[in-house]
Structure formats: C-alpha cells, structure tokens
Chains A and B, each alone.
Chain A
Amino acid sequence: MSAKIPPEQIPSCYHCGDPCEEPIVEEGKSFCCQGCRQVYALLQENGLCTYYDFDKNPGIKARGKFLHERFAYLDDETVIAKLAQFRSEQLIHIHFSLPQMHCASCIYLLENLHRINPGVIRSRADFQKKQVFISFNPQQVTLREVVELLAFIGYEPQISLKDVSAAKSPDINRRKLFHLGVAGFSFANIMMLSFPEYFSGGYITEHGLKEVFAWVIFGLSLPVLFYASASIFESAWKGLRQKDINIDVPIALAIVITFGRSYYEIFTGSGAGYLDSGTGIIFFMLVGRWFQGKTHDALSFDRDYQSYFPLGVTVIRNNREENIPATRLEVGERIIVRNGEMIPSDAILLEGNAMVDYSFVSGENIPVACNVGDLLYAGGRQVGGAIQLKVSKEVSQSYITQLWNNDVFTKDQEKLTSFIHPWSRYFTIALFTVAISAAIYWWLHEPAMIWPVVTSVLIVACPCSLLLSATFTFGNMLRHFGRQKMYLKNEKVVEALAAVDTIVFDKTGTITLSDRHQVIYAGQVLTETDKRMVRSLAGQSAHTLSRFLFQSLHANETDTIPVLSQYQELSGKGIRALVDEVPVRLGSADFIPAGDNTGTDAKGARVYVQIGNQPKGYFEIRQQYRPGMEAMAADLIKMGYQVTVLSGDHDAERSSLEKIFGKSANMQFEASPQDKLAYIKNLQADGRKVLMIGDGLNDAGALKQADAGIAVTDHAARFTPASDVIMDGGSVFKLSRFLKYARSGKTIISISFIVSILYNIVGLSFAVQGLLSPLVAAILMPASSISIIILVSLLGNYMARWKGLYKN
C-alpha cells in the first residue's frame, strides 16, 4: 500500500462517478475499480461508448465478477418456463425489472445488448416501468448468460417468484383508451349534427334533413351505449350485487333514461333527444377516470417478502454444491451465503466471518458481527466472505416471514368507504323526491306531461358532476403528491390520510437517516496528527464503519499525507497498519487488547482506536435523525394528532426522541414485528384511525394493518414492503403538510359539490316545468362539467401551495 491522494485531487470514476481512491488509469480515463474498468472495456470493444455521452458518469458501480454459481438456478427448466412469456426452440421473450435504470444512457445501453451478445435479438427498455423486454435465441445464448450480462454491466434484474407469477399487462390501460376514443368520436360528431336542431329551435324546414340527422345520431350513439360506457355499467352492477348503491348506480340509471327517452323520440319522430349531452357526459367521465388512473407504473405497492427473497439458494448435499429454489429449502440443510447475498431463512452460523447487514429488515445498515453458533435471521445480507449456515426454520416460518401468516395478509379488507358515498346517496334520494313531486304536480294538472317531465328531471340531474369533481380532485392531488415524491397507491388513500387521528412512527430508517451517521469520539484527546493517521487507515477499508469514520474526519489541503504499510484487514475484527511507521489499530473492543472495554450503555456501534501501543478511546457511530423532524413533529402535535414511536432497538435513544417528539409522546422500544402489528390493532380497537410510517420488512405487518401505511425509502424504485404510499426519505419532513393537503381535499370536493348542486337546481327548475329543450341541456351539462373540472383543478393547485407542499 502506498501513499494516498487527498480527496481534493481524487478523480471521479469515468464509469460510475464515485471518487477513485486508487484510480486505475486507462486511455486517460480513471476508474475506481476493476469492475468499472471491465464494463468500460466491454462497451468499448462493442462500440457502445456513446453510453458515456448522454449523461456524465452514467454507470452503476460494478461489483466485479460475480460468483460463478450465483445465477445457476436460471438453467433450471422450470424456472425458465415460469419466467418466459413466450418460448420456442428459436426464441424466448422475457421481461425483466431493472430498478437501476436511471438515465438516457441506461436506455441506450439496454437497447443495444444485441451488439454485445449477438444471441440477443431485440431489447426494448420501458423507462417509466423500469422494465426491459428482451427476446433472444436460446440456441445461441442461455437465459443465465443474458442475466449474467445484465448483472455484469450493472443492471442486475430483480428476479423473484412473485414478479414472475404476476406480470402486469398493459391491457387495462389500453381498454380505457379505446373507450375514451370511441366516446370522444361519437360525442364530437353528435354535437356537430345537433347544431341545426339548436339553431332552428326544432323546426328544420329542409325536407328529410331532420330525420337523416336523427338516424345518424342514433347510429353514432350505439357504440357509446354498448361499448364505451361498459366500465360504468360493470361498476354499477358490481355495486348492486353487493347490495350497495355506489355512485355508478344513479349514473347508469341516468344513462339508461337519457338514451331510452332519446331513442323513443327518434323512433316516434317526436324530437331530437338528448344524445349530445348524454354522450358528452360519458366522455367527460371517462376522461376523469383515465386522468385519475394514471398511477405510478414503476412502483409496486403490493409486494410481500417473496418479492425480495432470492429465488435460488446454494445448498451442500452429499459434499456437492447444488442450487435449489428457496421454497424447497428444508430444516437442517447446510447452505452457503456469499458476499452480498441474502440469508433466505433463519439459520445458525457454522463457519465463516459473518457480518450481517439487516437494513432490509430494520432500516439499520451498520452490519452486525456474528459468531459461530449465532442465529442469523432471514432477510439479512452477508457482507464479506462466504459463510456456511444450517437452516433452522423453513423460509415461510422465519422470524420475519411468519408475519405474512397473519390474517392481515390473507384478508383483503376494504379499508374505508369513500366520503362521497353518503353524498351520492343523499343526492339519489333528493332526486327521486323531486321527480315524484313533479310527477304528482303534473298528474293533477296535465297528465300527459308526467312522462317527459320525470325523464328530463332524471336526465338533467345526473350525478355526473359529483363523480367528476371527486375524480379530478383526487387525480390532481395524486399528481401534486407525486411531484413531492410521495406516491399514493390510489385516490382512496387521500381520504384515508385525511381521516387519520393517530400517527405511529418507526424509528430506524424512517426518522433516522439510513446512509449517514453521527460519529462521536470518547477517550483521550486525539491530536491532529492522530486524526490524520486514523483517517488514512480508515480510508483503506471498504467496511461500512470505516467509511463513516473516514467521512467524519476532514482533511486539510496542507496536510502531509501519512504513509501506510503492512495493511491488514481481519474480517469481523478490525484493521491495522503501520502509519508513518507507527502501528495503528481500529476495530472492535477485543481487537484492542489493552483497551478500556467498559461502558455497556453503547448507543451505537463502536470503533476502538489504538495508536502506538496505547489504547486511545473509541468512536461511537450513532444514527442521525433526518433534518426537519422537530418542526414536523411539533406541527403534527399542534394539528391534534396522537404521536407514537415504535422501535425495534433498545431505549438508548429515548432522550433524543423526546427532544423531537416532546415528553408526552408514546414510545415503545424493543418491539418485534408482531408487537408493532398488535400495537396498531389495539389502537384501532379503541376506534382510532392509524397512520403507520415505516421502512423495513419488520414494519410490513403494521403498514398493512394501519388505515394508511407509508413506506419510506431512499430509493423509490427499490425495496418497500406492501403499503398504501411510497415516500422518498427526503420528503418525510413534509409529512404534516401532506396531511394538511390531504385534509383540504374534502374541502375542495365539498365546494365543488355545492357548485354542482347550484347547476342542478337551475337544470331542475327547467325540467320540472317541462321546458328542458335539448339546447338547454346541451349548454348546461357540458358547461357544468367543464367548469367543475376547472374549479377543482385551480383549487387543488392553490391548496398545494397554500399548505406548503412546495416549500422547503
């Protein structure tokens, strides 16, 4: 090991942009590691260096050559059959999910795979879904080779049984667009053909014109009634079958009456009908649904542990390594877990230096050192060399995964009924009251008017504007939330968020940062020289704790750089080297023989220091809270929410948590995943509406049980347990504003309901008098729809700003 370049001069890797501590220079370009250089060499060989032109340092840090057996399970016939969408002798079609896709360069590279491996026939990237479609010739290249190529260039596909079984089809979205297109076409043409009727006041002099137009309109309206409005009738029918009058029931009724009466008028030649307004309303409602349905394709809200656990596991059977599907793993078997691989089930460590990163489970990403004989939990990731384990529980019965055996995950409960629901019921009742009163009035005065009056009442008072205001308000709010990196599963979640009165936080990874830590030193005072020595030693190691230590000790430009020699890293223990000829050790307490190992009240991981032959003290690496938590917590309490913190850790952080949430906040420590779930259930039994915010698999039960569950992640495309909302870690401090905005949704809808009721009163006043001409309907109905859409959009945008969604 030679001298090091100070960080100010450290070049960034040409491939991935990471600082290169020991740059490998080739063709005037520096690379941080062999892995990145190899990827560059591969791309260069195939003339794909345009990859580096679209974005600066677009690459994904390569982890070097992966271990040979890692993807062996992809040679398995049953696995191929499950993964492939189409399969023949010559051709296999397959979709992969690649959450690493992040820029134009990625698309370029992924669509040019055929130039690296001619066995690949075609590859197509879908950036928003973070998917790539690949077709390849299985006689030239195997599935395993394709996946290995992807993994090598940095895009290791997420392959899991869950994703395999449920490949999303684009058909639903296409169907919506088909309906929309047909409805729009018919609406526009019927409107045009109705103009003579509007301007002549019903007395067209030209012989035959009226009849021809009426029949053309009739023809154009048929596809709308029988095709485009199918989704409305389906939803209404579903509601009726469950003995429930949802908002689609009165709408379906209004459609039937509008079309029925219009067809009657056309057949008898007594009028022109209301097909223009009828088709118009259907068109507007379809637009609203399409707008609302534009959800976040790349995110998956319904994942369970199967989506994250590896497909294949390496077991030792008869002294031979074998790759089997994780589901077939049996208790008592010996398995091998290599660097970066996940432990598939609870198991006992037999040999090897285990450093387990449980960030997946708890959000805490400082690896835990384990000794032989320790029980390692499923979901942890091994950092360092290969380890051998003895399986002590089946995959589905492990500490974390048995959470999914709970009822919460088997029942698909309908979480709440929408608050527009009661409105639509009142509306329906009021409407029938008006219709019946009008009928009684006309029965007394002029019985011939009963039929036209009742039908026109039902036509004009269609609750479409109620539906429109709800769909557009929520659709607009989802967009605003999305811009702030809070991704809601659907519009119902807005109402759920508005209704909560209790908020439960997970601690680690949710209100603390998962990638940054506070480093505190305790012990004998370190001189500047000491610090420099520690820093340069720590800089040599790739261990997480060394990285944190290295980052926390700042270097000055004028500093001389210490010279290192005889560097040694003892896995699971620590590192040592001669720094400027002085022996320096960094590591765990037992690595520093003469060290003071007292003080068991550790609040975090400790790194002990020895310089020369003298133990100096230790660095304590603590979790760091996300910025802005105090202000957010104060705001939440002011808004009247009951706040609770649940933590899987011991209560060492109690005092700092009290500083944030106040002394009155409830706190519970050492909570197991089951405890968290039970805690939420208890709150709900007390009639509380609970919002749970968590991040790891250990919060999965609580997130699912809560009335609204928010999964926090620092990489939106990566791991999140099943939840209603996926939120970027950087937006957590805006939680109180998000909740305020969600609450304002109700106000917006109420305002637009009042406006739509005013329109209805005007319309009904024409209708009950028997004066509803097609012209009045044709003006009133689109005008009310459009003005309501504009109103809710403006209000939604205004509220987003007013509630501070865009303030930082």
Chain B
Amino acid sequence: MSALFVLIGISILVAGGFLLAFLWSVGNGQYDDDYTPSVRMLFDQEKNTAAKNETENIQVTTPTTK
C-alpha cells in the first residue's frame, strides 16, 4: 500500500504542472482575447511566406481575387 503514497505524490505533481501551465497562459495574456486568434490563424501561411519573400526582396505574387 505504500505505493499509494508515491502515486499520490506523483498525481499531485502532475496536476500542479497543469495548474502552473494554466496560470502561465493566463498571465501570458492568452485568455485576454478569445476571438481574434481564431481568425488570425487563417492568415498565417500567407503571411509567413510573404514576410520571407519581403526580406529577400522578391516581388510577392498576390493571389488572384474572385
């Protein structure tokens, strides 16, 4: 049964790890705005390639519009 003491200790440590992760994410401002990031993620790919192209001074080909 003494295994129980070890397991309890581990379980609290794991849970504490998750708590710290949560507190960190709140402190980091990840809960400040819960809408814009959902839109922003749709831009990512285009933005990255564009930014890269810009640094290499290559003309960006814009996607043709509807």
User: Is B a genuine binding partner of A?
Assistant: yes
Show the binding face of A for B, using Cβ within 8 Å: 44, 47-50, 52-54, 104, 107-108, 111-112, 115, 124-129, 170, 173-174, 177-178, 181-182, 185, 188-189, 192-193, 206, 209, 212-213, 216, 220
CA distance A50 to B61 in the complex (A): 11
Q: Which residues of the partner chain A approach B65 to less than 8 Å between Cβ atoms?
A: 49, 52-53
* Distance A182 CA – B62 CA, assembled complex (angstroms): 48
In the complex, the chain B residue whose C-beta lies closest to that of A49 is B62
Contact partner of B62 (CB less than 8 A), chosen from A50, A129, A174, is A50
User: Once the chains bind, are A128 and B62 in contact (CB under 8 Å)?
Assistant: no
CB distance B16 to A185 under 8 Å?
Answer: yes
Decide: A108 near B43, CB < 8 A? Known: A50-B63, A53-B66, A181-B26: yes
B62 near A178 with CB under 8 A, answer: no
- Can you report 20 A-B residue pairs in the complex whose CB atoms are below 8 A from each other? A47-B60, A50-B46, A50-B62, A50-B63, A54-B42, A107-B43, A108-B43, A124-B36, A126-B33, A126-B36, A127-B35, A174-B26, A174-B32, A178-B26, A185-B18, A189-B15, A192-B11, A193-B8, A206-B4, A212-B5
Secondary structure of the B contact surface, majority rule = helix
- Nearest CB on B from A95, distance (A): 12
- A177 cross-chain contacts in B, Cβ below 8 A: 26, 31
Given contacts A53-B65, A173-B32, A185-B15, contact A107 B39 (CB under 8 A): yes
Which chain B residues numbered 14 to 53 have a C-beta less than 8 Å away from chain A? Answer: 15-16, 18-19, 22-23, 26-27, 29, 31-36, 39-40, 42-43, 46-47, 50
Contacting residue for A128 out of B15, B16, B36, B46, CB 8 A: B36
Taken together as a complex, chains A and B put the C-alpha atoms of A702 and B25 apart, in Å, by 44
| B40 cross-chain contacts in A, Cβ below 8 A | 107, 111
- Looking at chain A's contact residues, the main secondary structure is helix
Contacts of B27 in A (CB 8 A): 174, 178
Q: Across the interface, which residues of B come within 8 angstroms of A112, CB to CB?
A: 47
Q: Which residues of A contact B63 (CB under 8 A)?
A: 49-50, 53
Complex CA gap A757/B27 in Å reads 39
In whole Å, how far is B55's beta carbon from the nearest beta carbon of chain A? 11
Given known contacts A53-B65, A104-B39, A115-B50, A128 and B4 CB-to-CB distance under 8 angstroms: no
Please indicate the chain A residues that have their CB under 8 angstroms from the CB of B11 in the complex.
189, 192
- Report the separation of the CA atoms of residues A50 and B43 in the bound assembly, to the nearest whole angstrom: 9
Report yes or no: B35 in contact with A185, Cβ–Cβ below 8 A. no
Could you tell me if B29 and A170 are in contact, using CB atoms closer than 8 angstroms?
A: yes
* Size category of the binding interface on chain B: 20 to 34
A128 contact set on B, CB distance < 8 A: 33-36
Query: Closest residue to A118 on the B side, CB-wise?
Result: B54
**Are the C-beta atoms of B32 and A170 separated by less than 8 Å?**
yes
Q: Which residues of A sit under 8 angstroms from B31, Cβ to Cβ? A: 173-174, 177
Determine the chain A residues whose CB is within 8 A of the CB of B19 once the complex forms: 181-182, 185
Distance to closest chain A CB from B57 (angstroms): 13
A189 to B14, CA, bound (A): 11
Cβ of A204 to closest chain B Cβ, rounded Å: 11
Return chain A residues, CB-CB under 8 Å to B60. Answer: 47
Nearest first, the 6 A-B pairs at minimum CB distance are: A47-B60, A185-B19, A127-B36, A49-B62, A177-B26, A170-B32
Choose among B1, B18, B43, B62 the residue that contacts A111 (Cβ–Cβ < 8 A): B43
Q: How far is the CB of A284 from chain B (nearest CB, A)?
A: 18
CA distance A193 to B47 in the complex (A): 49
Question: Which of A52, A170, A181, A213 contacts B23 (CB under 8 A)?
Answer: A181
Q: Judge whether B33 and A127 touch: CB under 8 Å.
A: yes
Give the nearest-CB partner of A220 in chain B.
B12
* A107 in contact with B50 (CB, 8 Å): no
A127, B39: Cβ atoms closer than 8 Å: yes
Q: Which residues of B contact A185 (CB under 8 A)?
A: 15-16, 18-19
Min distance, Cβ A199 to any Cβ of chain B, angstroms: 14
Q: Please indicate the chain A residues that have their CB under 8 angstroms from the CB of B23 in the complex.
A: 178, 181-182
A54 to B41, CA, bound (A): 13
- Return the chain A residue nearest B36 by Cβ: A127
Q: Is the CB of A44 within 8 A of B33?
A: no
Q: A126 to B31, alpha carbons, bound, how many Å?
A: 12
Beyond A185-B19, A189-B12, A192-B11, list 14 extra A-B contacts (CB 8 Å): A44-B62, A47-B50, A47-B60, A49-B63, A50-B43, A52-B66, A53-B65, A115-B50, A174-B31, A174-B32, A209-B1, A212-B5, A212-B8, A216-B12
Cβ of A44: which chain B residues have Cβ within 8 Å of it? 62
**Which residue of chain B is the closest to A128 with respect to CB atoms?**
B35
Q: How far is the CA of A75 from the CA of B22 in the complex (A)?
A: 43
Count chain A CB atoms within 10 A of each CB in B12, B36, B42, B46 and give the residue with the most.
B36
**Chain B residues with Cβ under 8 A from A192's Cβ?**
11
In the complex, A168→B43 CA distance in Å? 28
Query: How many Å from the CB of B43 to the closest CB on chain A?
Result: 5
Q: List the B residue with the shortest CB-CB distance to A43.
A: B62
Tell which of B22, B34, B39 has the most Cβ of chain A within 10 Å: B39
Shortest C-beta distance, B13 to chain A (Å), equals: 11
